[in-house]
Amino acid sequence: MQDVDTVFLIWPFLTADGAVATLGEIARHARRVLYLSSSAVRFGADTDPITRLHAELEAAVRQSGLEWTILRADTFASNALGWAGQLRTGDIVRGPDNAATAVIDPADIAAAAVHVLHEPQPGALHTLTGPEVLTRADQVAILGAALGRALTFAPTPFDEARAQLRADGRPDALVEALIGSAQNRPASDLVTDAVQDLTGRPARSFRAWADRNAAAFA
């Protein structure tokens, strides 16, 4: 971290263990930290394991002594890449349903982060969303339009989804976090202008993301 002034922190673990120590090490070298969090934190820390993790990291960031900015992102459009295997063998996407959210293109998250890294905003919190609230069924239908196929979303009971995720080789902690999020995260009708405010252009639609990534589902 020699000569590093600002750190863009994405926490890739399922617990906050080590976060305080990591931030302490960052603070020995850098002055600022930009943390990528979840828009679900606004509902409260106890809705599900993933939201609780982000709430704990936000608290650690605020208490780190660093100048901080937090980006709270809504559901990533790229989560749909998890359906690619199913769509290579059929036209039905099976999985646990979850609450509707304003799905955001990860490229918009990146563009917002670049802006904040270049123009620091100490103590600011931005909630990044896409331009429209979508259910999983909506996303599958839009993806089908981009692929020129009639796709269907078939919600899977949570116990069946849990067993399938484990059969696919995912660790138990990750399975429980994903199922907990699907079961407990509240629906959201929040759509913000934060992407446009930070980048100077509107947030891109899920259809635009699907068109750009269609080859991943072939």
- Type of residue at 167: A
Note the pTM of the prediction, 2 decimals.
0.93
Confidence of residue 79 (pLDDT cuts 50, 70, 90): very high
Strands (E) located in the chain = 6-9, 32-38, 67-73, 92-95, 125-128, 152-155
pLDDT digits (tens, 9 = 90+) for 148-203: 999 999 999 999 989 888 887 888 988 888 898 888 888 889 999 999 999 999 99
Which domains does the chain carry? 6-217 (3.40.50.720)
Answer for the pair 185, 47: CB distance below 8 angstroms, yes or no: yes
Work out the average pLDDT over 5-16: 95
Tens digits of residue pLDDT in 28-70: 999 999 999 999 999 876 778 899 999 999 999 999 999 999 9
State the pLDDT at residue 112.
98
What confidence score (pLDDT) does residue 45 get? Answer: 65
